[in-house]
């Protein structure tokens, strides 16, 4: 057994135990030092990731090794298996960091910024590469280890100065909170292009160094393989990733199965890029994009992954990069001047190239300035390239340290420069509208609805609910499951009709929102009774909203089938009842929606649903606020007016009403036609009924809270509306605790 352990690990069992203890000590020390220095730099306006990088510098030969060499050697021994253990954790951390960054990347913004990102990347590589080559050509032969290979060294150094580190840029942009800004997306996309081009160039240089000529076959395979990988990922890969995640979530019952499959997808895609001769980080980043684009469980997944990545893997990776630096090697004046020269050449070249690329792409001067500042961050990419040069004997330890210090200085300079540039960067109207919409969504519940469940029959209410489900799914690109409650000889025809209604509405809603992808729709035919069991079996799969379209509803109470269906669902649900023209099958007209608002979270969620439905149907929304409830006796002139049916006269300017203004702001963020009105009445149901008649509204959307008891009950106002309202009704119970008690 001992011989097998030695053969596998290269260490004797006794040495293996000591090695494990040293490894654990290294992790603990890096975590503690990275956290403390990260906290310190955070208070100075720097990203915490820089504290983790400096922690490695302090613990390495630059500080600890210089002051207490025996302690530094004992903590980080120069033993290959020991180093490999720490490096393995660091490399896994890189992949997880890129996975998380990809999940946060908005492809819709990157698509609009594609031309700018390509121009920024190409110009930002060409200029510093040229400057770096010229700088090495000007060095005296005494500073070169192999003067006869000056050109090869110049190409290596030019590449190291030209390429931004996507890992560092991604971490800094995310830490600074600029991922959602358009400029942040351009910087991130350009850094990804930088990284891909950089590793292709490195493969060319390796061919030059090892064979004395360019490996044309290897370079061609890398370029074509990368293009094929990206094309497959954004087409087939996106759908495949979504289906794999959904299938795992719906069929596995063990703990956290989706996280496991996410890591497997990341690893497989990283290995795919490695096989085509490109770094694994590209595969991990693309995997993150596909997972983030997959419209299911992304928020849940991100919350579970972020803590482990930020708390464990990032400090180890950046700390290890700092450990490779020995600042003491810069003691000679020549190396000090060389380091300063590399910093100047790299910074000026990268900034100028990115700035010019931005201007050529049509960015404003302020935007190009911000992009130039953001791209001037290096990191592990340069360290790896420098390590290749060190292992090939092109540079020595001093030259290697000069490159690392250049990467460190440019990275530390990037955050304050980017902040300074962004403070002078006005937002474009479309960017401001997008960020405003995202901020409004963050306070709502529809943004968290990643799967939609529909429970409907063939009745007019079922068909209306199917249409509304299609509108929501199309606007938000939400995968939908439809449970069709019908057991007749024509059930297949009825189910097909339900499917057609959903898809037609989804296409309308998607087109209105600029989407072109058809929604993912699953249809299941279920027994009409009891209804709750079918919903309950689906509930565990993680749906964010249930739409119920079933009949009949008798008088002021819901039929027990509706109550049973709602009882089987643990999250937000909406009950849909068709009236007037919707009972005759007229479902395609734009919706004229009335939504009562009171300033509560319940009414706001109803308004959010109303806006989404109006957006998808190209309809309109009227926000109604009822003032004067519970204020005692009305003034004399209003009591006189009530005798003539004028008890709800408008007595307040809607434009100055903060409750309706919030809904107006929400609707306008989605380009929905909206108006607001304020009515004074002691009875809310009467005011709502009169507004329905006055405005000729065809749908009332109302946020409600289920009352305790059985059958399903939303309160007195909802009961009156259920009995007397002539327009179609949508009662949304979206409170977290809004689950009605299950009937026995």
Whichever domain contains 153, its CATH number is 1.20.1530.20
Residues 328 and 186 reside in one and the same domain: yes
pLDDT for 311:
82
Is residue 526 a part of any domain in this protein? yes
| 140 has a pLDDT exceeding 90 | no
pLDDT for 383:
67
pLDDT for 649:
47
Q: Across all residues in the chain, what is the average pLDDT?
A: 78
Among 379, 382, 363, residue whose Cα is nearest residue 371: 363
Residues 649 and 561 reside in one and the same domain: yes
Is residue 138 a part of any domain in this protein? yes
pLDDT for 265:
93
Radius of gyration of the chain (CA): 31
| 742 has a pLDDT exceeding 50 | no
SS3 content of the chain, % helix, strand, coil (to 5): 65, 10, 25
The full DSSP string for 74-109 is HHS---HHHHHHHHHHHHHHHHHHHHHHHHT--HHH
Both tokens assigned to 491: 């059930």
Q: Return the H-helix or E-strand segment holding 622.
A: strand 620-627
Residues 350 and 467 reside in one and the same domain: no
CA distance 572 to 544: 7
Average pLDDT over residues 35-63: 82
pLDDT bucket at 2, cuts 50 / 70 / 90: very low
| 187 has a pLDDT exceeding 80 | yes
Tell me: the pLDDT tens digits for 571-594?
Answer: 899 999 998 888 877 777 889 999
CA distance 257 to 245: 9
Is residue 726 a part of any domain in this protein? yes
Per-position b or e across 460-489, b if 16+ CB within 10 A of its CB = bbbbbbbbbbbbbbbbbbbbbbbbbbbeee
Continuous H helices in 480-527: 491-512
More confident residue, 104 or 622: 622
Q: What does each C-alpha distance from 16 to 2, 12, 620 come to in angstroms?
A: 11, 6, 70
Residues 152 and 106 reside in one and the same domain: yes
Residues 407 and 455 reside in one and the same domain: no
| 452-456/521-526 β-pairing | unpaired
Among 258, 250, 266, residue whose Cα is nearest residue 300: 258
Residue 574 sits at φ, ψ, to 5 deg, of -130, 135
Q: Percent of the chain, pLDDT > 90?
A: 8
Residues 279 and 374 reside in one and the same domain: yes
Average pLDDT over residues 374-398: 72
pLDDT for 477:
80
Is residue 742 a part of any domain in this protein? no
pTM comes to: 0.71
Residues 414 and 362 reside in one and the same domain: yes
Please, are residues 691 and 594 in contact by the beta-carbon 8 Å criterion? yes
The overall longest dimension of the chain from CA atoms, in Å, is 105
In the chain, what is the straight-line distance between the N-terminal and C-terminal CA atoms, in Å? Answer: 62
pLDDT for 701:
94
Number of domains in the chain: 2
pLDDT bucket at 641, cuts 50 / 70 / 90: very low
Q: Which residue has the tokens 């404003």?
A: 364
pLDDT bucket at 513, cuts 50 / 70 / 90: low
Residues 331 and 470 reside in one and the same domain: no
Residues 407 and 303 reside in one and the same domain: yes
Among 438, 685, 468, residue whose Cα is nearest residue 573: 468
pLDDT bucket at 139, cuts 50 / 70 / 90: confident
Is residue 633 a part of any domain in this protein? no
Is residue 148 a part of any domain in this protein? yes
| 602 has a pLDDT exceeding 60 | yes
Q: Return the H-helix or E-strand segment holding 327.
A: none
Residues 659 and 710 reside in one and the same domain: yes
Look at residues 398, 426, 454 and tell me which one is the last residue of a structural domain. 426
| 250 has a pLDDT exceeding 50 | yes
More confident residue, 254 or 55: 55
State the CATH number of the domain containing residue 647: 3.40.50.12370
Is residue 63 a part of any domain in this protein? no
Average pLDDT over residues 641-646: 43
63 alpha-carbon distance from chain centroid: 39
| 396 has a pLDDT exceeding 80 | no
Average pLDDT over residues 412-426: 78
CA distance 338 to 716: 80
pLDDT bucket at 13, cuts 50 / 70 / 90: low
Residues 360 and 233 reside in one and the same domain: yes
Q: Return the H-helix or E-strand segment holding 138.
A: none
Least confident of 96-100, 217-221, 611-615, 640-644: 640-644
Q: Hey, is 735 helix, strand or coil?
A: coil
CA distance 600 to 456: 29
| 592-596/699-703 β-pairing | parallel
CA distance 156 to 643: 90
pLDDT bucket at 556, cuts 50 / 70 / 90: low
pLDDT for 7:
41
CA distance 508 to 491: 26
Average pLDDT over residues 230-254: 85
Residues 341 and 487 reside in one and the same domain: no
Please tell me what DSSP assigns to residue 531: -
CA distance 386 to 191: 19
Average pLDDT over residues 335-340: 84
More confident residue, 354 or 220: 354
Average pLDDT over residues 220-245: 84
More confident residue, 322 or 359: 359
CA distance 301 to 258: 8
Q: Find residue 729's DSSP bridge partners.
A: 577, 700
Average pLDDT over residues 614-618: 88
Q: Percent of the chain, pLDDT > 70?
A: 79
**Which residues have a Cβ under 8 Å from the Cβ of 301 and sit 6 or more positions away?**
103, 258, 259, 262, 291
Average pLDDT over residues 492-498: 68
Look at residues 426, 449, 467 and tell me which one is the last residue of a structural domain. 426
| 150 has a pLDDT exceeding 50 | yes
| 303 has a pLDDT exceeding 80 | no
| 685 has a pLDDT exceeding 50 | yes
Is residue 6 a part of any domain in this protein? no
Please, are residues 383 and 399 in contact by the beta-carbon 8 Å criterion? no
pLDDT for 1:
45
Tell me: the pLDDT tens digits for 99-136?
Answer: 877 776 666 656 667 788 888 888 988 998 898 888 88
pLDDT for 576:
92
More confident residue, 628 or 466: 466
Domain that holds residue 525: 441-626+640-733
| 89 has a pLDDT exceeding 50 | yes
């Amino acid at each position: 057994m001992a011989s097998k352990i030695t053969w596998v690990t290269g260490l004797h069992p006794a040495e293996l135990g000591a090695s494990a203890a040293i490894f654990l000590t290294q992790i603990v020390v890096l975590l503690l030092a990275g956290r403390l220095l990260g906290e310190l730099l955070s208070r100075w306006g720097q990203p915490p990731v820089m504290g983790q990088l400096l922690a490695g510098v302090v613990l390495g030969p630059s500080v600890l090794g210089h002051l207490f060499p025996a302690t530094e050697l004992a903590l980080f021994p120069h033993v290959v298996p020991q180093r490999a253990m720490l490096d393995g954790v660091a490399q896994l951390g890189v992949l997880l960091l890129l996975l998380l960054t990809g999940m946060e990347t908005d492809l819709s913004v990157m698509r609009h910024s594609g031309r700018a990102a390509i121009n920024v990347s190409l110009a930002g590589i060409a200029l510093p590469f040229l400057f770096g080559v010229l700088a090495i050509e000007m060095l005296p032969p005494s500073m070169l280890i192999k003067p006869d290979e000056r050109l090869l060294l110049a190409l290596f150094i030019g590449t190291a100065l030209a390429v931004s580190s996507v890992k560092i840029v991604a971490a800094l942009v995310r830490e600074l909170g600029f991922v959602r800004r358009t400029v942040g997306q351009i910087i991130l996309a350009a850094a990804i292009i930088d990284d891909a081009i950089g590793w292709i160039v490195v493969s060319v240089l390796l061919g030059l160094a090892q064979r004395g000529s360019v490996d044309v076959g290897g370079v061609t395979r890398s370029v074509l393989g990368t293009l094929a990988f990206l094309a497959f990922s954004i087409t087939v890969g996106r759908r495949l990733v979504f289906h794999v995640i959904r299938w795992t979530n719906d069929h596995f019952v063990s703990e956290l199965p989706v996280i496991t499959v996410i890591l497997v997808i990341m690893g497989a895609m990283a290995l795919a890029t490695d096989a085509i001769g490109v770094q694994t980080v590209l595969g991990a980043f693309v995997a993150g994009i596909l997972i983030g684009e997959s419209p299911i469980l992304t928020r849940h997944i991100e919350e579970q992954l972020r803590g482990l990545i930020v708390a464990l893997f990032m400090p180890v990776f950046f700390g290890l990069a700092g450990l490779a630096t020995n600042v003491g090697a810069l003691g000679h004046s020549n190396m000090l001047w060389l380091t300063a020269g590399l910093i100047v050449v790299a910074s000026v070249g990268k900034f100028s190239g990115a700035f010019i690329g931005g201007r050529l792409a049509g960015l404003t001067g302020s935007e190009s300035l911000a992009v130039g500042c953001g791209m001037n961050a290096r990191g592990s990419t340069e360290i790896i390239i420098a390590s290749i040069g060190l292992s090939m004997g092109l540079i020595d330890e001093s030259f290697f340290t000069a490159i690392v210090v250049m990467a460190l200085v440019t990275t530390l300079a990037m955050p304050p420069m980017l902040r300074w540039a962004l403070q002078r960067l006005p937002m474009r109207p479309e960017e401001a509208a997008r960020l405003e919409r995202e901020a409004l969504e963050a306070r709502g519940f529809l943004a968290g609805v990643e799967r939609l469940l529909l429970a409907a029959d063939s009745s007019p209410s079922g068909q209306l609910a199917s249409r509304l489900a299609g509108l929501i799914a199309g606007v938000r690109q939400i995968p939908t499951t439809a449970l069709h409650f019908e057991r007749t000889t024509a059930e297949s025809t009825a189910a097909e009709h339900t499917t057609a209604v959903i898809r037609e509405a989804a296409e309308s809603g998607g087109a209105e929102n600029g989407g072109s992808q058809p929604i993912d729709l699953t249809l299941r035919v279920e027994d009409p009774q009891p209804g709750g069991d079918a919903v309950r079996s689906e509930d565990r799969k993680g749906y964010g909203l249930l739409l119920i379209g079933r009949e009949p509803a008798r008088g002021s109470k819901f039929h027990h089938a509706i109550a049973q269906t709602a009882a089987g669902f643990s999250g937000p649900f909406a009950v849909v009842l068709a009236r007037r023209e919707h009972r005759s099958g007229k479902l395609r007209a734009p919706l004229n929606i009335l939504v009562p608002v009171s300033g509560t979270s319940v009414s706001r969620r109803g308004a959010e649903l109303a806006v989404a439905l109006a957006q998808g149907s190209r309809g309109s929304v009227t926000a109604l606020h009822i003032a004067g409830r519970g204020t005692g006796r009305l003034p004399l002139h209003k009591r006189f007016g009530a005798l003539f049916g004028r008890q709800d006269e408008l007595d307040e300017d809607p434009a100055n009403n903060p409750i309706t203004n919030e809904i107006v702001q929400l609707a306008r963020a989605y380009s929905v036609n909206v108006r607001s009105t304020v009515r004074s009445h002691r009875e809310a149901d009467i005011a709502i009924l009169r507004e329905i008649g006055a405005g000729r509204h065809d749908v009332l959307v109302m946020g409600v809270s289920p009352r305790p008891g059985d059958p399903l009950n939303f309160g007195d106002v909802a009961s009156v509306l259920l009995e007397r309202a002539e327009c179609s009704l949508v009662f949304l119970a979206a409170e977290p605790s809004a689950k009605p008690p299950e009937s026995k």
